[in-house]
Amino acid sequence: MTGRSMWFEQAFAVCAKDLRIEFRERTAVSAVVLFSVTSLVVLGFALAGNNLAREVSAPLLWVVMFYAAFSGLAHVFTVEEDGGTSMTLQLAADPTAVYFGKLLYNLALLSCVALIAVPLFLVISAVPVPYPWKLIAVVSGGSFALASAATMTGVIVAKARGRGALFGALGFPMVLPLLIMAVVATRNALNPESMAWEPLRDVGGLIAYGTMMGAASFLLFPYVWESN
Amino acid sequence: MEIDATVSATLRKVSMVYGRRTVFRDICSSVESGSVLAIAGPNGSGKSTLIKIIAGLLQPETGDVEIRFQERLLDPLHRRPLIGMVAPDLGLYGSLTGIEHVQLFAKLRGLRYGIETAGELLARVGLKARRGDPVRAYSSGMRQRLRLACAVLHAPRILLLDEPYMALDTSGVEVVRSLIDEQRRRGITLIAGNDERELALADERLSLVGSSG
């Protein structure tokens, strides 16, 4: 097996292992689904049948996505540290392959969150969606960026053993630019006037953020992961 | 007995400090293919720490560990594919089965283990009957057997055993002995522990004296 194919094998093995464990234990999925559903149901009661303005709906959607993501995704490394398996993984796998495997797992999980939370949000808030493909593009780009940020924050927090408090302190400044971009892009995607929409700025910005965060994490991850 | 003399480990003035406490200072030793080195010492003397330093999981405060394979000097990351390790603090995944552990770690090591091959390895460490059970249902001795299986599945050149007899019954002890015998033909073995039965398996002994303040 060549070095590159072994690297991909390792990354997919880490991702498959996490998905299998999650399928059996449902720890992250429970946290994520519980948060998204309860917050959206509360929103539904608060609206009491009224429509939500586009300007308000975009930030609300990303508040739900952000908290849902960080309540579940960031624990991928905490679980390894708590169970003593991070050292077992360190011995057997390339650090960057571990990072990529965890990123894939977080992307899979966040896709599930988006599939549940976004349609539910649209039904409850009754926001009209003039161009569904624009919203799909923004949510996909934003999910990719959010998964990148959550994966890197997760390993720093797990290694620092700061857990809850540190997670907010580290995570919020890291994702603030992403949240602002995602909110603006969602507002534009929901705007019936097609002039408001600029794919390169709205979706490209989110993908660029996710790629930059992924690239920086890819380079920095081995140093954080190896710090015992 | 044919000995493959291609791997060696040399410790050069290795010291470790945690905070203000010196765990050990200026440790020097070496071990060649076919040999078994025991690391002995009281609790807290740094046996497990030294094993982790050799595995490249910890950086020593001063000194270095030189691992050579086929005359080539390996850095900590590149020596890991050659290492198999068993230690009490190496965790396992509670919801995965024994078979799944073997297959996972084989894949991470770049090997393909089918159910049959994985089953044979588990049978060798005495886990045949429970190979399909989740690890959370295993006793501590069974977990130790699974750690042993995962440590040797890639035929490592360097086998690091930290308290290998921990929680094992008589048949488990025999498994460790047979794995060490096999390792003598493949490379080097380092055993850290206090149990005289473990230490008696070694050819040489390195004694750590404990904290010097």
Write down the ipTM of this complex.
Answer: 0.89
Q: How far is CA A141 from CA A65, A76, A108, in A?
A: 13, 21, 13
pLDDT score at A43: 83
Is the Cβ pair B108, A25 closer than 8 Å?
Answer: no
CATH number, domain at B189? 3.40.50.300
pLDDT score at A171: 75
Q: Say how many domains are in chain B.
A: 1
- Residue A92: pLDDT over 90: yes
**Contact of A14 with A101, CB cutoff 8 Å:** yes
pLDDT score at A2: 66
Domain assignment present for residue B150? The answer is yes
- HEC profile of chain B: CCCCCCEEEEEEEEEEEECCEEEEEEEEEEEECCCEEEEECCCCCCHHHHHHHHHCCCCCCEEEEEEEECCEEECHHHHHHHEEEECCCCCCCCCCEHHHHHHHHHHHCCCCCCHHHHHHHHHHCCCHHHCCCEHHHCCHHHHHHHHHHHHHCCCCCEEEEECCCCCCCHHHHHHHHHHHHHHHCCCEEEEECCCHHHHCCCCEEEECCCCCC
pLDDT score at B205: 93
A57-69 pLDDT per residue, tens: 888 889 888 887 7
Tell me the chain B residues in contact with residue A92 when contact means C-beta distances shorter than 8 Å: 80, 105, 108-109
* Mean pLDDT value across residues A5-11: 92
Start-to-end CA span in chain B (Å): 45
Domain assignment present for residue B70? The answer is yes
Which of B91, B107, B109 minimises the CB distance to A85? B91
| Phi, psi of B74, rounded to the nearest 5 degrees | -110, 135
Domain assignment present for residue B42? The answer is yes
Is the Cβ pair A91, B80 closer than 8 Å?
Answer: yes
**Contact of A24 with A115, CB cutoff 8 Å:** no
Is the Cβ pair B108, A228 closer than 8 Å?
Answer: no
pLDDT score at B5: 52
Among chain A residues, CA nearest to B96? A21
Domain assignment present for residue B95? The answer is yes
Residue B94 lies in domain: 7-207
* Mean pLDDT value across residues A203-228: 89
pLDDT score at A165: 66
Rounded CA gap, B10 and B30, in Å? 4
Rounded CA gap, B3 and A160, in Å? 44
A166-193 pLDDT per residue, tens: 666 777 788 899 999 999 999 888 888 7
Rounded CA gap, A150 and A51, in Å? 32
The distance of B139 to chain A (nearest Cα, Å) reads: 16
Where residue A8 falls among pLDDT bands split at 50, 70, 90?
Answer: very high
Domain assignment present for residue B2? The answer is no
Point out the residues of chain B with pLDDT beneath 70: 1-5, 210-213
Domain assignment present for residue B139? The answer is yes
Which of A86, A88, A92 minimises the CB distance to B109? A92
Domain assignment present for residue B77? The answer is yes
